């Protein structure tokens, strides 16, 4: 969006506004339908009439939105409409899998489709902006917000972000953007120290340039409407006040002309960061760095008048922020129709309706595409006509928990649980259920009930992991493990001798004990897969759906391996289990439990004929890297193919693998297809010590295959020769 330009309507309004009305436009306040930060002292509804607020968050639905909007346009002096924001992160009413799960579908079309559906639902509820996509590259499972990300890889986050922006912002019937996207959190929030939420991110410029900034650049190029700075400081500079990154990089170099919306209370928190003495200084720092909207901290409203008096900010800069907000409202069509697109034409008709069947179908497809099969010993799955199934665990029949954190307006009563899904799918089977253990603590562990339920079962489906409250914002965990009470239940299940299918529900990679991984017959990462998680899992277990998801994030074996990811740099003493003087750990293996990209299918794929169409490349050349993929197994299936590169000799140490592209290929049993990736030599450049892109003559490796695990990759080399 281009928001800084002149507009007759905006300029006329600015001309008529007093200071308080101007500051109102650039203040966003929260109502309390959901709590996403410390409650403020305000009652925002009462402030609308005074022009004291320009946008609201955490309010949706015809009744509330209409009433708030009516006050703004009919009762405030200038009648400027409000806009409404909400965290529509993985669905609005129809909830799709949490992003860390859906990222593992590696399906750009799906990422876009689920965003478009969320936009349709949210828009009908009066929402104009979603605080999504969240594209913080994250590599530490201790960090609770890893659940909201597309995982550890910059390219995956970039592609996920692009698809989400396209989906949310797709035009409606009038050609207007449905839901404005706000990419967050700019930047490096995923690098917080020890995975501790809100902590500092003390990272190098190289990490910023190579890992944390590219997803944001991609969203800006895709036309994202807004950006939210992160709560954190990067190398000592608080992001909410980061002139170099916000003004010089985002605005000037990348030409981003949309809105910059602060995070919740983040401007006032500059005082806690120790970079502002009072609210006036905090407000001045944020405004001067380019932040247009103050979310929830009152710093603009109460601090800017003082900052103006002290000469810390200029009225021109205030006016520019106001202009952007007004132009945004104008471009959304809110001046022409403040109630645009709301499904309910009157406040009274705001009854909740059943979810549209096509939205449910998409949620189910998304869940099926996100549940990762990690182990399937002896081809135990799919289940073959079981007579009796025992379902155990606190996540088996907990509709709210399967929706996961940040579930927007998702309602538990719309969700179909695993128990319900299994009963529907295995209609001829006796499906029994006992919870057996609570999420946390041991008080309600009931192993007797579990033993009774599993007696005589052909298989046990063990649904354990995290409740929705165990991941998300401010839920960092030093031990991202399955809690002890649930492990007792798991031991009981394994001791019974019946085959155990472990369905892990979580918002992060969980640490699993070796005995559980070895003892389970099959293991699936089911994440928090949303409204239709139950039927989706049941259909995977029955074989009606052949799993195709992969991990978008490495799963460690022990917490002490974190942060852990595939794109590490080589050391002078590469890991060698036979050599005590090599990199690694003395008390744990070096390799993860499961690598980025891992995930099984009920069929088997082979690769052959890896080739390039040229073996020498200049800087402006393109090269095609091709491989034939065959479905050599027992049923139809979908394979994901990753293309990595490695620069073995450069001026600086380069990562062991860098992802360049990925694709999915659907193959019938016995079918072969050629997968072709086209790579620009220029994209193989790295930044030298002067931060200039550079490519050295010599060998360049391509690694192509099913995951980042060395055993899953084939290699072919080309020569860079720039003449
Ligand atoms: C979170 C943001 C979110 C905002 C509004 C903050 O606490 O960090 O991601 O968009 O609240 O709910």
The DSSP line for 639-679 is EEEEEEEE-SS-SSPPPS-EEEEEEEEEE-TT-EEEEEEEE
Residues comprising the chain, all counted: 723
Determine the pLDDT at residue 32: 76
> Quick one: which of 537, 440, 409, 419 has its CA closest to 101?
537
Span from the CA of 162 to the centroid of ligand 1 (angstroms): 20
The more confidently predicted of residues 646 and 348 is 646
The answer to the question of residue 659 being in a domain is: yes
CB within 8 A of 58, min separation 6: which ones?
A: 30, 31, 32, 33, 34, 35, 36, 86
pLDDT of 313 > 80? The answer is yes
Per-residue pLDDT for 345 more than 70? no
Q: 391 with 520, same domain? A: yes
Lookup: tokens for 646? 């490695």
- pLDDT for residue 42: 79
With CA atoms as reference, report the closest residue to 526 among 20, 95, 104.
104
Average pLDDT on 390-418 reads 97
If asked whether residues 238 and 167 sit together in one domain, one would say yes
Q: pLDDT digits over 578-612, tens only?
A: 999 999 999 999 999 999 999 999 999 999 999 99
Residue nearest to ligand 1 atom 4, measured at CA: 264
Percent of the chain beyond pLDDT 90?
94
Domain around 246:
21-331
Q: If you take atom 10 of ligand 1, which residue's CA is the nearest one?
A: 131
Q: 466 in ligand 1 pocket by Cβ < 6 Å?
A: no
Q: Is 157 left (phi over 0), alpha (psi -120 to 50) or beta?
A: alpha
Question: What integer pLDDT is reported at residue 34 of this predicted model?
Answer: 81
> Are 93 and 137 in the same domain?
yes
pLDDT tens, position by position, 113-149 = 999 999 999 999 999 999 999 999 999 999 999 999 9
Other CB atoms within a 10 A radius of the CB of residue 176 amount to: 17
Q: Which atom of ligand 1 is nearest to the CA of 182?
A: 10
36 C-beta closer than 6 A to ligand 1: yes
C-beta of 107 in contact with ligand 1 (< 6 A): no
Q: Which of 122, 293, 473, 475 to mutate to test the pocket of ligand 1 (most atoms within 8 A of CB)?
A: 473
User: Does residue 21's CB lie within 6 angstroms of at least one atom of ligand 1?
Assistant: no
Mean pLDDT of 333-350: 74
CATH number for position 286: 3.20.20.300
For the segment 44-52, the average pLDDT, to the nearest whole number, is: 91
* Assigned domain for 338 exists: no
Q: What integer is the mean pLDDT of 668-695? A: 98
Tokens of 370: 């996100």
User: Do 379 and 274 belong together in one domain?
Assistant: no
With cut-offs at 50, 70 and 90, classify the pLDDT of residue 43: confident
Spatial contact of 673 and 667, defined as CB atoms under 8 Å apart: yes
Q: Which residues contact 122 (CB under 8 A, 6 or more apart)?
A: 60, 86, 88, 92, 130, 179, 408, 409
pLDDT above 70 for 173: yes
CA of 262 to the centre of ligand 1 (A): 9
Whether 136 is in the pocket of ligand 1, judged by its Cβ within 6 Å, is: no
In a domain, 595, yes or no: no
Q: Are residues 126 and 174 in the same domain?
A: yes
CATH of the domain at 389: 3.40.50.1700
240 in any annotated domain: yes
The confidence band for 349, taking pLDDT boundaries of 50, 70 and 90, is very low
- Separation of CA 185 and ligand 1 centre (Å): 9
Query: Phi-psi bin for 599: left (phi > 0), alpha (psi -120 to 50), beta?
Result: left
CA distance 666 to 568: 31
Among 331, 353, 386, the domain-final residue is 331
User: Which residue, among 678, 648, 651, has the nearest Cα to 663 in the 3D structure?
Assistant: 678
Q: What's the confidence (pLDDT) of residue 90?
A: 98
Residues whose CB falls within 8 Å of the CB of residue 410, separated by 6 or more in sequence, listed in order? 91, 92, 93, 94, 95, 403, 530, 531
Distinct helix (H) and strand (E) counts, the chain:
21, 26
Average pLDDT over residues 46-69: 93
Indicate whether 25 and 67 sit together in one domain. Answer: yes
Would the pLDDT of 348 be above 90?
no
Ligand 1 lined by 264 (C-beta under 6 Å): yes
- Cα-to-chain-centroid distance, residue 135: 6
Residues 6 or more apart whose CB falls under 8 angstroms from that of 194 comprise 140, 142, 476
Number of domain units in the chain: 3
Residue 421 lies in a domain: yes
Same-domain pairing of 74 and 188 = yes
Is ligand 1 within 6 A of the CB of residue 87? Answer: yes
Question: What spacing in Å lies between the alpha carbon of 473 and ligand 1's midpoint?
Answer: 8
- CATH number of the domain that 621 lies in? 2.60.40.10
The span from the CA of 371 to the CA of 550, in Å, is 8
Integer Cα distance of 631 and 642 in angstroms: 17
> At 346, is the pLDDT very low, low, confident or very high (cuts 50, 70, 90)?
low
**For ligand 1, mutation pick of 179, 263, 297 (most atoms within 8 Å of CB):** 263
The response to whether residue 263 sits with its C-beta less than 6 Å from ligand 1 reads yes
Choose the residue to mutate in 36, 60, 88 for probing ligand 1, maximizing ligand atoms within 8 Å of C-beta: 36
Residue pLDDT, tens place only, 371-391: 999 999 999 999 999 999 999
Give the count of beta carbons closer than 10 Å to the beta carbon of residue 624: 12
Does residue 34 sit in the same domain as residue 91? yes
pLDDT at 350: 41
307-330 average pLDDT score: 98
pLDDT given at position 351: 43
- Tell whether ligand 1 has an atom less than 6 A from the beta carbon of residue 112: no
Domain edge (last residue) among 561, 593, 615 = 561
Same domain, 206 and 290: yes
Stronger pLDDT, 34 or 427, i.e. the higher one:
427
Establish whether residue 647 lines the binding site of ligand 1, counting it when its CB lies within 6 angstroms of any ligand atom: no
Which of ligand 1's atoms lies nearest the C-alpha of 184?
9
pLDDT of residue 251: 98
pTM above 0.85, yes or no: yes
From the CA of 264, how far away is ligand 1's center (Å)?
A: 6
User: Can you tell me the distance from the alpha carbon of 139 to that of 161, in angstroms, rounded to the nearest whole number?
Assistant: 17
Q: Name the residue with the closest Cα to ligand 1, atom 12.
A: 36
Q: What is the Å distance from ligand 1's center to 37 Cα? A: 7
Query: What are the φ/ψ torsions at residue 265 (nearest 5 degrees)?
Result: 65, 10
Both tokens of 42, joined, read: 């305000």
Looking at the fold, whether 56 and 138 belong to one and the same domain comes out as: yes
Q: From 44, 131, 269, give the residue whose CB has the most ligand 1 atoms within 8 Å, as the site to mutate.
A: 131
pLDDT tens digits, 244-265:
999 999 999 999 999 999 999 9
Residues 642 and 697 both lie in one domain: yes
- How far apart CA 659 and CA 188 sit, in angstroms, is 19
Both 508 and 373 in one domain: the answer is yes
pLDDT, tens digit, 9 for 90 and up, residues 517-570: 999 999 999 999 999 999 999 999 999 999 999 999 999 999 999 999 999 999
Which residues form the catalytic set? Answer: 263
Q: For residue 91, which of 425, 415, 504 has the smallest C-alpha distance?
A: 415
Q: Is residue 251 part of a domain?
A: yes
Express as a percent the part of the chain with pLDDT over 70.
99
Closest CA to ligand 1's atom 6? 264
- How far is the C-alpha of 291 from the C-alpha of 303, rounded, in Å? 14
Q: What is the pLDDT of residue 602?
A: 98
Q: What is the DSSP letter of 134?
A: B
* 3-class SS of residue 720: strand
Q: Specify if 204 maps to a domain.
A: yes
**In-domain check, residue 578:** no
On average, the pLDDT of the chain sits at 96
Range scoring the smallest mean pLDDT among 347-351, 392-396, 529-533: 347-351
- Would you say residue 13 has pLDDT above 90? yes
What is the mean pLDDT of the segment spanning 294-320? 98
Pick from 5, 53, 65: nearest CA to 26: 53
What's the gap in Å between 284 CA and the centre of ligand 1?
22
* Ramachandran bin of 389, using left for φ above 0, alpha for ψ from -120 to 50, beta for the remaining angles: beta
């Amino acid at each position: 969006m281009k928001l800084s330009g002149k507009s007759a309507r905006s300029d006329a309004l600015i001309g008529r506004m007093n200071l308080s009305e101007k500051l109102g436009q650039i203040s966003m306040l929260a109502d309390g339908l959901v709590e996403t930060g410390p409650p403020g002292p305000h009652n925002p509804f009462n402030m609308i009439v005074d022009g004291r607020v320009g946008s609201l968050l955490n309010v949706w639905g015809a009744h509330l939105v209409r009433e708030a909007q009516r006050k703004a346009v009919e009762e405030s002096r200038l009648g400027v409409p409000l806009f409404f924001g909400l965290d529509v992160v993985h669905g609005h009413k129809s909830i799709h899998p949490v992003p860390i799960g859906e990222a593992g579908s590696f399906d750009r079309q799906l990422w876009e489709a689920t965003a478009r559906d969320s936009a349709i639902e949210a828009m009908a509820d009066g929402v104009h902006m979603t605080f999504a996509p969240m594209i913080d590259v994250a590599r530490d499972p201790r960090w609770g917000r890893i659940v909201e990300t597309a995982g550890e890889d910059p390219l995956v986050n970039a592609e996920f972000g692009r698809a989400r922006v396209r989906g949310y912002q797709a035009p409606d019937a009038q050609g207007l953007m449905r839901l404005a996207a706000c990419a967050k959190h700019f930047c490096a929030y995923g690098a917080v120290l020890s995975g501790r939420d809100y902590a500092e991110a003390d990272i190098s410029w190289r990490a910023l340039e190579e890992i944390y900034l590219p997803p944001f650049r991609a969203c800006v190029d895709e036309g994202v409407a807004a950006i939210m700075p992160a709560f954190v400081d990067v190398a000592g500079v608080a992001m909410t006040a980061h002139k170099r990154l916000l003004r010089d990089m985002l605005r000037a170099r990348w030409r981003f002309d949309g809105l910059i919306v602060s995070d919740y209370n983040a401007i006032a928190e500059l005082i806690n960061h120790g970079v502002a003495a009072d609210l006036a200084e905090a407000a001045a720092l944020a405004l001067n760095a380019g932040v247009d909207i103050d979310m929830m901290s009152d710093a603009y409203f109460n601090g800017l008048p003082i900052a103006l008096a002290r000469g810390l900010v200029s009225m021109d800069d205030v006016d520019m922020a106001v202009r952007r907000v007004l132009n945004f409202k104008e471009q959304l069509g809110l001046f022409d129709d403040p109630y645009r697109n709301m499904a309910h034409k009157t406040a009274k008709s705001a009854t909740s309706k059943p979810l549209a069947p096509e939205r449910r179908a998409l949620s189910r497809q998304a869940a099926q595409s996100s549940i990762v099969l990690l182990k399937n010993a002896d081809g135990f799955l799919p289940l073959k006509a079981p007579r009796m199934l025992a379902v155990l665990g606190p996540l088996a029949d907990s509709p709210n928990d399967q929706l996961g954190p940040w579930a927007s307006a998702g309602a538990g009563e719309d969700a179909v649980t695993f128990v319900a899904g299994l009963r529907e799918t295995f209609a001829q089977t006796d499906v029994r259920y006992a919870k057996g253990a609570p999420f946390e603590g041991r008080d309600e562990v009931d192993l007797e009930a579990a033993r009774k339920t599993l007696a005589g079962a052909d298989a046990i489906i063990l649904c354990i992991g995290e409740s929705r409250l165990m991941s998300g914002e401010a839920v960092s965990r030093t031990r991202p493990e399955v809690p002890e009470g649930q492990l007792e239940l798991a031991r009981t299940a394994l001791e019974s001798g019946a085959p155990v299918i472990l369905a892990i529900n979580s918002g992060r990679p969980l640490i699993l004990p070796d005995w559980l991984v070895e003892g389970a017959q099959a293991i699936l990462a089911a994440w928090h897969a949303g409204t239709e998680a139950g039927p989706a899992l049941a259909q995977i277990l029955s074989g009606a759906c052949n799993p195709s998801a992969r991990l978008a994030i490495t799963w460690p074996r022990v917490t002490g391996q974190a942060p852990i990811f595939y794109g590490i740099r080589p050391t002078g003493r590469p890991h060698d289990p036979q050599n005590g003087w090599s990199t690694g750990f003395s008390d744990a293996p070096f390799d993860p439990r499961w690598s980025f990209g891992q995930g099984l299918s009920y069929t088997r794929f082979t690769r052959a004929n890896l080739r390039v169409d040229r073996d020498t490349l200049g800087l402006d050349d393109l090269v095609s890297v091709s491989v034939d993929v065959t479905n050599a197994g027992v049923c139809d299936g979908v394979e994901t193919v990753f293309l990595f590169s490695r620069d073995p000799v450069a001026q600086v140490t380069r990562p062991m693998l860098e992802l360049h592209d990925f694709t999915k290929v659907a193959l019938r049993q016995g079918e072969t297809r050629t997968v072709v990736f086209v790579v620009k030599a220029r994209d193989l450049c790295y930044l030298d010590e002067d931060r200039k892109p550079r490519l050295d003559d010599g060998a360049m490796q391509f690694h192509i295959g099913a995951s980042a695990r060395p055993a899953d990759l084939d290699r072919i080399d080309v020569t860079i020769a720039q003449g």
